[in-house]
Every structure is written in structure tokens, then in C-alpha cells.
Chain A
Amino acid sequence: MTSTLTAPARASRAGAASRAARSTTLLGVLGFATFLALLEVIPRTGLISPDYLPPLSRIGVALAELTGEAGFWTAITDTVQGWFLGLVIAVAAGIAAGFVIGTIPVLREFTASTIEFLRPIPSVALIPLAVLVFGTELRSVLLLVVYAAFWQVLVQVLYGVQDVDPVAQETARTFGLNRWARIRHVTWPTALPYVLTGVRLAAAVALILAITAELIIGAPGLGNEIGVAQSGGAVARMYALVIVTGLLGVAVNLLARRLERWLLSWHPSLRREVAA
């Protein structure tokens, strides 16, 4: 039995909700402040040697110094460039391949095992090959980023194309829509939420791989800067760079979510994410 809420009840629920939201924000701020305080206090008390983990204030100073260096901004640009280019290529290839494979049943049947085999191959296995063939160029980074991000998009697109309502397909067919028009007006709108989920997952993976490639291969970028700072013993600087990569990660997540919400504002249903 559901008790119908009267108007004042609804108003009071809304009031309670906004109050709860405010206390959530407050707790979150408090939590973050605690985290920052721990980062300052733990090294100062010597629980972890400040040689290994400098107090937050020292990391802050290093961060401030970084922002004054031209090289730091170049490194960020390099990382973002590798991430973005790789992501765009992976997304384009993933969508194209996903739609072709997904809409043609025979192809789907005959590629399933290959996809299942190639997908779990760790992209870092390609590192030595990338180094040999491309050296420390951007193309090395792109190879890793594209390989890792491509599967994320492809798998989601395949889920999405599979999710198309057969009744809608039949209806479109009876209205005389040709294959291309059916893809445009039936398949694409159904698959779009999945595509965007794929893009969001791929964006996160692409950033990880871009920075990994820089760190291991030595391609220019934030990852490389971290490696240099570590081997040079510039501990505070290294932590500052790690924080920057974290902030970049948060920015990528927020951006991807914003994009998703913006492009799906028309979408009638809130869709369950396919756990891939």
C-alpha cells in the first residue's frame, strides 16, 4: 500500500530533502578537510617519514612553483593532447565498428569470440612494441590509448545496438524506412546512451594509459615529469604532479558526465549502466 502524500507532506519531504542535501555537502567538505589535515599531520608527527611523504604545505609550495614553470604547462598540454587524440580515434573507430558488427547478425556471430579474446589483453603488453616501432613519439602514446579505449566503446555500442526494440524495428520497416534511415532514426537514438557510457569509460581509461605511456616509455607529458621528479629525488614536486594527475582525472570524469547529461537531456528513461 502506498499512502498518498498530501500537499504539506510533500512540502515537508522536499524541505527534509534539501536539508539532507545541505548536511551531505557539509559532511563532504568536512571529510575532505580531514583528509587534507591528515596529509599535513602524518608526516609532521613522523608516522610516515617526511622524506617519503612531505607535509601537504610543502607539496602546496611545490605545486605553486610548478604553475610558474612553462615546462609544466607544456607537459599538461602534451598529456591532454595524447589523451584527446587517442580518445577521438578510439571513439570514432569503436562507434563505426560497433554499428557495422552490431547491425549485421552474421558479423556479430563470427566476431564474438575474437572480441572476447582481444578485449582482455592488457594494453601495456604493447609497450615494448610501441617503443621499438615509434620510440618516444606521440604515436607510441596513441597506440596504447587507442587500443585500451577502443574496446570500452565497442562493447558498449554492441550492447546498445542489441537493445533496440524489435517492435520499433518492425514498425520502421512497415513505414518503408530503408536500412540507413532505420539506423539513423531507430538504432542510433536507442544506442546513444550506451555510446555515451562507453565514451565516459573510455575517457577515464585513455587518461590512465596516456600517463602510463609517458611514465614507462618516456614520451613527453605529466607521466614523464613524475618519473623525472622521482629519479631526481624531488619528492614534493612528484606529489604535486600526482595531485595534478588526480585533478585531471576528476576533470575528465566531470566533463564526461556533463556531456552525457547534456546530450541525453531529451532521453525519456534513466538508463541502467551495463557493467562491462
Chain B
Amino acid sequence: MRFARRGTRAILAALALPLILLILWWVLTADSESYYLPPLSEILAAVDDVWLRSDRLSVDVLPSLLRLFAGFLLAVVMGVALGVAIGSSRRLRAFCEPVLEFLRAIPPPVLVPVLMLVAGIGDTMKVLVIVSGCVWPILLNTVEGVRAVDEVLVETARCYGLRGPARLWHLVIRSASPQIVAGLRQGLSIGIILMVISEMFAASNGLGFSIIQFQRTFAVTEMWTGILLLGLLGFLLATLMRLFERRALNWYFGLRQAQRGGSR
């Protein structure tokens, strides 16, 4: 009984404010004459036409997501590989640190025009832009994680003959995984931003391209549907990331809680 009531309360707490906000939006814009702020009912009605009944999902949304996916994946591979290498060697770290410190400070969107020069305005450029922005948080977090591998654990692994790929996976990467995942999360949110920007700057398709097209042609209601879709996409990807995190770092959250609760 008590449990059920608590469950109900949790659902209520999670849904109440979003519902209130939506209703407010609906009511306040119902008679809106404002050019910028069409009624929510109109926006929602337009979603169907603009996105579902057209080929925009396959022509615009899908390519955007594929580019994001490719860029993110490349950034993960590069970031973790380089991060493990740099994190494992004190000398390499000292050698690279100032350069990395500078490169990561460059706001990634300014690389859009730079990479456009080198790679044109095709998919390559956009994937490269995403890579060039995602890679830094992943790389730097991996370096930190690898540096922090417990000394006793390192010696234990040595004593039991853990070497090569097994050592890399079971000791180094697993041990650095909390930091690596934090890097992935930061990298993903930067990746989404860059996906949109690279399309807004120069493209012939994509979610960002569509939204900016709607704005340029003053199709305000359609533009709003695009903004909503983009927001939803950001939320969904973040949720997926969180699910992955829960699974991959289950041990870490348990360990943290055990440490906080004191020794049993």
C-alpha cells in the first residue's frame, strides 16, 4: 500500500509540472496573433504534415543522425585510444598537455568554416566537425581516468600476470570507465550542437538545414515543429546515454554508495 502510494506520488511529481507548462503554453497562445508565437495547437497539428507525411524523416532527420553517429563513434575510438596512450605515459602527457589545453579551448563551431575549406560541404566535413568537437572531452576524461588507476590494483594485475589486451580491458579501460562515460556524455551533447550548426552553416539536407530554411522562408509554425523535434531528439539521446551509463557503471554506483555508507 505505502509503496504503491509512493509510486503514484513519484509519477505525479514527474508529470505535474510538464503538464502544467504545456497547458499554460496551450492556453496562453490559444488566441495568439503574434507572428513569432503561433498557437501550440497549430504547431502540434503541423507536426504531422511537416515531418510524418513528408519524406523529411528519411531525407533530413536520418542523414543528420547518421552523421552524428559516425562522428561520435570516430571520436570515441580516437579519444579513448589516444587518451589511454597519453594517460599511461607521464612523458607523453607532459609533451602533449599544453597543445591539448590550447586545442580544446578553441570553440568547436569555428572549425566549421575551417573544415569546409579542407573537406568541402559534404558529409565528410560534417562528420569531421562532429569528431573535432566530441573528441576533446572524451580524450581529456580518458586521460584523467587512466591516470587515476589504483596503484594496488596495478600491482595486483602485474602479480597475476595480467598483460597486453587483457590488462588494457580488464584493468585500464574498466577502471577509467566512469571518467570515460562522463566524457562520452559531454561529447554527445557537443556532438548534437555541431550536427545542427554544420547543417545550418552549409548543407542541402539535415535537421538543422530544415529548421534554418523554415526560418528564412518565414514558415514560423514549421520552424517551431523543427525546434520541438530537435529538443525531443536531444532529450532522447541523453536518455539513451543515461541508460547506457546505468548499465555500464552499475558497479561504480554501487561502490560509491558502499563507500559513502561506511564500511560494513
Bound CA–CA A52/B118 (angstroms):
6
Known contacts A122-B189, A125-B211; A246 and B103 CB within 8 A of each other: yes
Mark interface residues in A99-133 (1 if CB within 8 Å of B CB, else 0): 00000000001111110010111111111110111
Known contacts A120-B235, A123-B193; A110 and B105 CB within 8 A of each other: no
Asked if A250 and B102 sit within 8 Å, CB to CB, the answer is: yes
Give the size range of A's interface with the partner: 35 or more
CB of B117 closer than 8 Å to a CB of A: yes
Interface of chain B, helix or strand or loop or mixed? helix
Bound CA–CA A188/B36 (angstroms):
40
Bound CA–CA A154/B96 (angstroms):
33
Asked if A120 and B238 sit within 8 Å, CB to CB, the answer is: yes
Asked if B108 and A208 sit within 8 Å, CB to CB, the answer is: yes
Mark interface residues in B3-25 (1 if CB within 8 Å of A CB, else 0): 00000000001111110010000
Residues of the B chain whose Cβ atoms lie less than 8 Å from the Cβ of A31? 94-99
Asked if A113 and B91 sit within 8 Å, CB to CB, the answer is: no
Bound CA–CA A121/B116 (angstroms):
26
Asked if B220 and A132 sit within 8 Å, CB to CB, the answer is: yes
CB of A245 closer than 8 Å to a CB of B: yes
Residues of the A chain whose Cβ atoms lie less than 8 Å from the Cβ of B97? 28, 31
Asked if A122 and B17 sit within 8 Å, CB to CB, the answer is: no
Bound CA–CA A111/B14 (angstroms):
8
Residues of the B chain whose Cβ atoms lie less than 8 Å from the Cβ of A275? 141, 178-179, 182, 185
A window 61-98: CB within 8 A of B: none
Residues of the A chain whose Cβ atoms lie less than 8 Å from the Cβ of B91? 27
Known contacts A112-B14, A125-B230, A131-B215; A215 and B220 CB within 8 A of each other: no
Asked if B106 and A249 sit within 8 Å, CB to CB, the answer is: yes
Interface centre among A215, A235, A253 (most CB of B within 10 A): A215
Known contacts A31-B96, A120-B235, A128-B227; A212 and B192 CB within 8 A of each other: no
Q: Which residues of B line the A interface, CB within 8 A? A: 13-18, 21, 36, 91, 94-99, 101-114, 116-118, 141, 178-179, 182, 185, 189, 192-193, 196-197, 200-201, 208, 211-212, 214-215, 218, 220, 223, 226-227, 230-231, 234-235, 237-238
29 A-B residue pairs with Cβ-Cβ distance under 8 Å, sorted by A, are A30-B95, A31-B95, A34-B95, A48-B118, A53-B118, A110-B13, A110-B17, A111-B17, A113-B14, A114-B21, A117-B235, A120-B189, A121-B234, A123-B193, A124-B197, A125-B230, A127-B212, A128-B226, A128-B227, A129-B36, A211-B110, A216-B200, A230-B114, A238-B114, A246-B105, A249-B106, A253-B105, A275-B141, A275-B179
